[in-house]
């Protein structure tokens, strides 16, 4: 009798565990290592002309939340008071963001933290809203890097959907999502966690060549493990592949890392997010980038800050963590737009102008 009760108990527990695992599996997302991405682009879009100036804008838009909040994750201990932005702030921020883009009129736009089907932004498709405001001027490709029908975190308790979005005035030939290494953790935790990625879009040049555009957002809150190093090494591999193939590229995004020389200049409480010997060194020692080392460590380095933390203890822009790496192109100019973007996001747009030189025979 005791044995039978024990058998029934074990069987019941196994059934409950199976139901639990199935439920978690059903509401979460497991992308493949490399995936072809759908492109939205009209046939009349032009190819890219070499030796003509191309303007690129890179921007983490913080899901159009604006700067009126301290979200729970904005403080290292997770104690920020806000869970989501109000609807009116989303609408105001969308208008301001689009106005800045129209003013700058970039040829290529790399956006991070764009929501779709996220409870915190009323499950709307923010890419669609942005494109409508831009009047169909851009081709686009997009890739999720956080997606679940329900996340049982006490500050979320709903659906999430976060994307990389690349917009181009030139015709996009193809797009690919590259999965980056994920943060270690228990199985259940990993199912609901971010799946950081690189969205690569290829633009065909008028002479039949290719120009690669990579859009990315690396992990944050990865203290105590080697996630950042593994992700940066994966990027280094992608960049090197383009170099070996002779394909010019730019790779813009929120790298969530300081360049060498910045750590010591941060207020001590803000250093907890970073390693003294930055993992970004793996890239900065091999590839060109903006803001450059000279910019970041100059007496006027504040002009090149790209991040204005929501943490009230910071109080002002204080670091550069958004970059555009590049190779095979000629840099003509670069700037960080601060004043016009101060209340739009906790990140500022990074803009560069480049030319792709013609190959000499």
Please give the Cα distance from 204 to 171 (Å, whole number): 7
Cβ 217 vs Cβ 254: under 8 Å? yes
Model pLDDT, residue 190? 83
Q: Is 88 left (phi over 0), alpha (psi -120 to 50) or beta?
A: alpha
Model pLDDT, residue 125? 98
Q: Is 53 left (phi over 0), alpha (psi -120 to 50) or beta?
A: beta
Model pLDDT, residue 360? 56
Please give the Cα distance from 127 to 132 (Å, whole number): 9
Model pLDDT, residue 2? 66
The tokens describing 305, both together, are: 């800050």
Residues 6+ apart with CB under 8 A from 144: 29, 31, 116, 161, 162, 163, 195, 197
Model pLDDT, residue 339? 95
What strands, in cross-sheet order, belong to the sheet with 330-336? 139-151, 158-168, 108-115, 54-60, 350-355, 330-336
pTM to 2 decimals?
0.95
Question: What phi and psi, each to the nearest 5 degrees, are found at residue 307?
Answer: -130, 130
Domain 34-355 classified CATH 3.60.10.10?
Answer: yes
Query: CA quadruple 44, 105, 325, 112: dihedral positive or negative?
Result: negative
Instruction: Average pLDDT across each block of 10 residues of the chain; the chain has 361 residues. List them in order.
Output: 68 66 72 94 87 95 97 93 97 98 98 98 97 94 96 94 98 97 86 94 92 97 87 98 96 97 92 93 97 95 97 94 97 97 98 88 49
User: Which among 101, 328, 111 is positioned nearest to 205, based on CA atoms?
Assistant: 328
Please give the Cα distance from 29 to 195 (Å, whole number): 9
């Amino acid at each position: 009798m005791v044995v039978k009760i024990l058998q029934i108990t074990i069987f019941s527990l196994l059934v409950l565990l199976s139901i639990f695992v199935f439920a978690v599996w059903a509401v979460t997302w497991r992308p493949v290592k490399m995936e072809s991405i759908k492109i939205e682009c009209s046939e009349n879009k032009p190819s890219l002309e070499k030796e003509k100036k191309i303007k690129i804008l890179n921007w983490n838009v913080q899901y159009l939340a604006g700067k009126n909040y301290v979200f729970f994750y904005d403080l290292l201990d997770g104690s920020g008071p806000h869970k989501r932005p109000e609807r009116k702030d989303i609408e105001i921020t969308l208008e301001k963001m689009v106005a800045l883009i129209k003013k700058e009129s970039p040829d290529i736009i790399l956006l991070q933290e764009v929501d779709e089907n996220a409870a915190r932004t009323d499950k709307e498709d923010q890419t669609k809203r942005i494109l409508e405001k831009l009047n169909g001027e851009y081709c686009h490709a997009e890739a999720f890097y956080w997606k679940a029908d329900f996340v049982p975190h006490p500050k979320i308790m709903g659906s999430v959907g976060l994307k990389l979005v690349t917009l181009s005035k030139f015709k996009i030939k193809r797009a690919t999502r590259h999965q980056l290494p994920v943060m270690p953790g228990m199985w259940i935790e990993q199912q609901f966690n971010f799946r950081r990625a690189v969205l690569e879009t290829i633009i065909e040049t008028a002479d039949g060549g290719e120009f690669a555009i990579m859009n990315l957002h690396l992990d944050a809150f990865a203290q105590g493990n080697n996630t950042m190093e593994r992700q940066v090494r994966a990027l280094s591999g992608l960049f090197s592949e383009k170099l070996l193939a002779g394909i010019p590229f730019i790779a813009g995004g929120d790298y969530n890392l300081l360049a060498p020389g910045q750590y010591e200049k941060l207020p001590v409480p803000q250093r907890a997010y970073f390693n003294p010997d930055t993992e970004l060194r793996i890239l900065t020692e091999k590839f060109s980038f903006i803001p450059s080392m000279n910019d970041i460590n100059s007496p006027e380095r504040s002009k090149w800050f790209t991040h204005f933390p929501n943490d009230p203890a910071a109080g002002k822009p204080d670091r550069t963590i958004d970059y555009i790496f590049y190779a095979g192109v000629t840099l003509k100019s670069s700037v960080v737009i601060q004043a016009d973007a101060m209340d739009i996001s906790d990140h500022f747009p990074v803009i560069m102008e480049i030319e792709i030189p013609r190959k000499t025979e």
